[in-house]
């Protein structure tokens, strides 16, 4: 797993360097203090995943997330920040972040979140997940989108995604194969014109 990290706090950078030394399966390609050159850095290093702070100078993490999503739609982005207000949460999700983890999260859970994201999940600190679910707490019904309809199975899978479940967990929950889950999610993305689970959840619930 190749990752890059955007973080402007030196103490935090040093702590993350020490942390990832204990996980050889995660290769950190570089640390950067803001997103001013994020296109060049992402194109040059080709990370699979980016761990993104929000509050950085010049070009912040939310804008950086938006730039990455527009130019590198397949790169996974996890926000890691101290901010847990709804404005930052939903701005980050709408910009294209697949996960949102607080810096107070334990190191073990941070590693778990990175692995979960690689498995197709949308990792969130529990308090963040509760805010997202509370904001969208309403019955999910079949909806028409650009002439298409989400099927009952697609609606159900999207509901499970909104609870932060990974593809593997959904497969177990619905007693179907991982391949079937992946196929349904690809169709959902196509119908909603999105590239991530969090984008799908936000767009679906706004309609």
Judged against a pLDDT cut of 70, whether residue 142 lies above it is answered with: no
157 and 71 share one domain? no
Each residue's pLDDT tens digit, 99-111? 899 999 899 999 9
Contacts of residue 171, defined as CB under 8 A and 6 or more positions apart, other chains included, come to 177, 178, 180, 181
Is the CB of residue 91 less than 8 Å from the CB of residue 63? no
Same domain? For 115 and 157 the reply is: no
107 and 192: one domain? no
Query: Which residue in the block uniquely carries the two structure tokens 């298409």?
Result: 148
Structure tokens at 85: 């207000």
Q: What pTM was computed for the model?
A: 0.66
Tell me, what's the pLDDT at 147? 45
Q: 102 and 8 in one domain? A: yes
CATH number of the domain to which 172 belongs: 1.10.10.10
CATH of the domain at 22: 3.40.50.2300
Last residue of a domain, one of 133, 152, 180: 133
* Domain around 196: 137-206
pLDDT over 50 (residue 25): yes
Residues 72 and 152 in one domain: no
By CB neighbour count within 10 A (0-12 exposed, 13-18 middle, 19+ buried), where does 107 fall?
middle
CA-based nearest residue to 120, from 192, 196, 203, 202: 196
């Amino acid at each position: 797993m190749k990752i890059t990290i955007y973080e402007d706090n030196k103490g935090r950078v040093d702590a993350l360097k020490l942390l990832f030394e204990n996980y050889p399966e995660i290769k950190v390609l570089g640390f950067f203090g803001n997103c001013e050159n994020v296109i060049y850095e992402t194109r040059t290093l080709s990370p699979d995943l980016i761990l993104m702070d929000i509050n950085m100078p010049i070009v912040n993490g939310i804008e950086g997330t938006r730039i990455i999503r527009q130019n590198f739609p397949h790169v996974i982005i996890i926000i890691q920040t101290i901010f847990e207000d709804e404005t930052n949460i939903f701005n980050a999700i709408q910009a294209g972040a697949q996960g949102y983890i607080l810096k107070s999260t334990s190191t073990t859970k941070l590693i778990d979140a990175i692995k979960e994201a690689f498995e197709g999940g949308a990792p969130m600190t529990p308090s963040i997940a509760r805010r997202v679910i509370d904001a969208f707490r309403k019955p999910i019904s079949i909806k028409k989108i650009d002439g298409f309809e989400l099927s009952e199975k697609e609606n159900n899978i999207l509901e499970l995604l909104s609870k932060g479940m990974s593809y593997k967990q959904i497969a177990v929950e619905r007693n179907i194969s991982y391949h079937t889950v992946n196929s349904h999610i690809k169709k959902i993305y196509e119908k909603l014109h999105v590239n991530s689970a969090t984008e799908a959840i936000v767009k679906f619930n706004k309609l």
